[in-house]
Amino acid sequence: MLESIFFGACLRVLQAALQAAPFIFTGLCITGLFHRLMGHAHTRRMFGSNTFASLLQSWVIGMLLPGCSLGAIPIVKQLRRSGIAVGTIFAFALSSPLFDPLSMLYGLTLSKPITIVVFALCSLVVVTVSGGIFDWLYPATEVSVAEPPPTPHGIKRLLAVLVVMARESVSDSAALIGCGLLGVGLLSVVLPTGILQRTMAHDNPWSPLLMTAIAIPAYATPMTAMGQLGSMFQHGNSIGAAFILLAFGAGMNLGLLAWMVLNYGWKKAAVWMGLMLMIVIGFSYGIERPLYPQDIEAADHTHAFDGYCRPFTSNSFTTTGYVGEIWRRVRLETQPHEIAGAVFLAGLASLGMFLKWLDRRWVIETWLNRQPVPDQVHKTTWDVTIPGPVLAAFGLLAIFACSIVGCYAYYPDPGETLEELNLAKTEALSGASSRQYEHAMHWIPICESWTNRLQVGAYLRRGSLSDYHRMKAQVFRDQLEILEHQLENRDPPEEIRRQVSATARAFSRLASAYRTELDAN
């Protein structure tokens, strides 16, 4: 029992860390750009401080830059060093993890995309109202920190950005990020396997409050949260609970709360959290009925929240042991961009540890910040003086551009996606037919993920998604879910075989619908 709980928590923390890795790396890049190229004064000018306009600016910047609540931790530290008020800081910290181009595109392909638009506007009201009230109650939260010494123009200035990223990766930011990941592990310890599968019903008035208790310690990337929202909409779950999942599950984590307490004290942290709870929960009850889709039949079962519960039961049996099972799941489920993010972070952390060791002999910043003697400067055709803020602006635009390019990579052309979906479908259905139920249940969520990416890829390239194509995708998802329930319940083999045939037919109709559109274009 204890062994399954311990290794289950390890798996959940490892999964969350890999999902967060690309966003944490992006957060470190933004921190380095702000610190070495923008400087405190220009960063403060960019975000503003202690005004209503600054709250709006921070919300807009947060919505444009890709990030997650863990990746926001080094950025909020830098914003505080730049002398920005805490209300403005948290306006950015809470808006940046909620949406990015990947998740917004997925949200717009849902049956009711207006719900995502309303959620975005509600998040604006939440950060401006809570931030405005907090800054009014505590008007003097800016700190005064001296500007970092300037680094000469040229390659040294770019190396200085890398040094900031490396040092930040092994600073207290790493401990705060670890604290945020700890919440994922604690949830898996507290929540037994599948306990949330019949919760968050639309007609249950306690659903938003239950989701609040789960979402605050949870961690979800914007894409993960949007996928869970899509599942909640499709199953007719509580819209208010969905908004809370987005606001707190994606926008908040225990590491951000710990940073707030450490830097501003328990009293201010409690006031801020109280304001957030009142406004977000109030919104969740206010939007429940107006946004609830009336044309969807509510289901009594969902797997959307299984990722917050224990992955192993007390009687779980794995032929390779828990360590082998963890490795198998991580190897099969980890995306290429997550592997790349983890490798980059490992490289930064290694460099950061090396710099800490080097500090006892030689501090690299002393060399980086040493100004050249004018008489010894030799100009070349490459010596073009570009202001630091201009370079930072280009860097931020490059990050935003990479996120747009990433949309096309993550959501491939429908023809390519159908090939991947066909492979996943074959694995799932063959596993179900041959009674390899664990194998089939592993591939069913992958089929659902590729189905979602099929829809978004078509929307991204066509600019719209017809109700006909939405319906075909939904029918295939429904058949997959029925099959998953049969496998869970260990229904008779002949019933499972019939459902395998029904699922295969649903896929054939789905593929035919999209291929017909491709041929027409």
Over residues 457-492, the pLDDT tens digits come to 888 888 778 888 888 998 998 899 899 889 988 889
Report the amino acid identity of residue 168: E
Q: What is the average pLDDT score of the chain?
A: 86
Helix axes 437-462, 388-410, angle to 10 degrees: 120
| Separation CA 182–CA 217 (nearest Å) | 8
Q: Where in the chain is the domain with CATH 1.20.120?
A: 413-520
CA dihedral sign of residues 61, 65, 68, 70: negative
Q: How far apart are the first and last CA of the chain?
A: 56
DSSP 468-512: HHHHHHHHHHHHHHHHHHHHHHT--HHHHHHHHHHHHHHHHHHHH
Task: Identify the band that residue 100 occupies on the pLDDT scale cut at 50, 70 and 90.
Answer: confident
Is 401 a residue whose pLDDT tops 80?
Answer: yes
Closest among 65, 67, 93 to 79, alpha carbons compared:
93
Over residues 49-77, the pLDDT tens digits come to 778 888 888 888 888 888 899 999 999 99
| Separation CA 416–CA 149 (nearest Å) | 51
Name the pTM for this structure.
0.88
Helix or strand (DSSP H, E) at 160: helix 155-169
pLDDT at residue number 520: 59
Is 297 a residue whose pLDDT tops 60?
Answer: yes
Is 28 a residue whose pLDDT tops 90?
Answer: yes
Picking from 284-288, 418-422, 434-438, which range would have the lowest pLDDT averaged per residue?
434-438
The fold for domain 413-520 equals Four Helix Bundle (Hemerythrin (Met), subunit A) (1.20.120)
**CB–CB of 240/202 below 8 Å?**
no
Helix or strand (DSSP H, E) at 91: helix 86-95
Is 111 a residue whose pLDDT tops 60?
Answer: no
pLDDT at residue number 456: 86
**Exposure string for 207-216, b = 16+ CB within 10 A, e = fewer:** bbbbbbebbb
User: Greater confidence, 396 or 502?
Assistant: 502
Percentage of the chain with pLDDT > 70? 94
Residues 6+ apart with CB under 8 A from 199: 207, 210, 305
Is 160 a residue whose pLDDT tops 60?
Answer: yes
Q: What is the mean pLDDT of residues 372-396?
A: 69
**CB–CB of 283/252 below 8 Å?**
no
Rounded (to 5) percent helix, strand, coil in the chain: 75, 0, 25
Displacement of CA 89 from its chain's centroid (Å): 19
Residues 6+ apart with CB under 8 A from 8: 188, 189, 310, 311, 312
- C-alpha separations of 381 from 153, 159, 377, 385 in Å: 14, 20, 13, 11
Per DSSP, what are the bridge partners of residue 237?
201
User: Greater confidence, 343 or 401?
Assistant: 343
| Separation CA 1–CA 326 (nearest Å) | 17
Over residues 418-431, the pLDDT tens digits come to 999 999 999 999 99
Task: Identify the band that residue 12 occupies on the pLDDT scale cut at 50, 70 and 90.
Answer: very high
Is 381 a residue whose pLDDT tops 70?
Answer: no
Give start and end residues of each alpha helix (H) in 191-320: 207-215, 222-234, 239-244, 254-286, 288-291
| Separation CA 493–CA 495 (nearest Å) | 5
**CB–CB of 222/98 below 8 Å?**
yes
230 burial via Cβ count (<10 Å: 0-12, 13-18, 19+):
buried
Over residues 190-219, the pLDDT tens digits come to 998 888 878 888 888 899 999 999 999 999
**Rg over CA atoms, the chain:** 24
Helix axes 414-433, 437-462, angle to 10 degrees: 160
Q: What is the mean pLDDT of residues 289-299?
A: 76
pLDDT at residue number 518: 60
Is 443 a residue whose pLDDT tops 60?
Answer: yes
Give start and end residues of each alpha helix (H) in 359-491: 364-368, 388-410, 414-433, 437-462, 467-489
The number of beta carbons lying within 10 Å of the beta carbon of residue 282 is: 13
Displacement of CA 159 from its chain's centroid (Å): 29
| Separation CA 483–CA 510 (nearest Å) | 17
CA dihedral sign of residues 331, 336, 338, 339: positive
